[in-house]
Amino acid sequence: MKIRKAVITAAAPDQSTIPLQRLVDRDGQDKTALQSIVEETLSAGIEEICLVIAPGSEDSFRKAAGPHIGCLQFVVQSQPQGYAHAVAQGRDFADGEPILHLVGDHLYLSQTHQTCARQLIDVASDLGSSVSAVQATRESRLPYFGVVAGTHVPRHSDLYEVSRVVEKPTPTQAEQELVTAGLRSGHYLGFFGMHVLTADAMDAVDAVVAEQSAESSAKKATLSDALATLPTRSRYLAYRVQGNRYNIGVKYGMLVAQLAFGLSGTDRDQILTEMVELLAQHPGRIADMAGTSDASDGEVAGSPDGSGN
Q: Which domains does the chain have, with CATH numbers?
A: 5-263 (3.90.550.10)
Longest dimension (CA), the chain: 60
Instruction: Give the integer Cα–Cα distance in Å for 232 and 234.
Output: 6
C-beta of residue 162 within 8 angstroms of C-beta of residue 231: yes
Instruction: Give the integer Cα–Cα distance in Å for 2 and 88.
Output: 21
Instruction: Give the integer Cα–Cα distance in Å for 58 and 135.
Output: 32
Percent of the chain, pLDDT > 70? 91
Other beta carbons within 10 angstroms of residue 236's beta carbon come to 27
Instruction: Give the integer Cα–Cα distance in Å for 19 and 65.
Output: 9
What are the tens digits of pLDDT across the range 237-265?
999 999 999 999 888 999 999 999 999 98
How much is the pTM? 0.89
As a whole number, mean pLDDT of residues 216-236 equals 91
Percent of the chain, pLDDT > 90? 75
Q: How far is CA 237 from CA 68, 127, 128, 245, in A?
A: 31, 9, 10, 19
Given pLDDT bands bounded at 50, 70 and 90, which one contains residue 104?
very high
Given pLDDT bands bounded at 50, 70 and 90, which one contains residue 215?
confident
Lowest-confidence pick of 43-57, 165-179, 267-281: 267-281
Question: Does residue 294 carry a pLDDT above 50?
Answer: no
Question: Does residue 297 carry a pLDDT above 70?
Answer: no
pLDDT of residue 212: 85
CA-based nearest residue to 257, from 40, 63, 47: 40
pLDDT of residue 144: 81
pLDDT of residue 163: 96
pLDDT of residue 285: 65
Lowest-confidence pick of 38-47, 182-191, 286-295: 286-295
Given pLDDT bands bounded at 50, 70 and 90, which one contains residue 219?
confident
Beta 99-103 vs 5-10: how paired, if at all? Answer: parallel
CA 7 to chain centre: 12
Instruction: Give the integer Cα–Cα distance in Å for 197 and 233.
Output: 13
CA-based nearest residue to 31, from 43, 41, 22, 40: 22
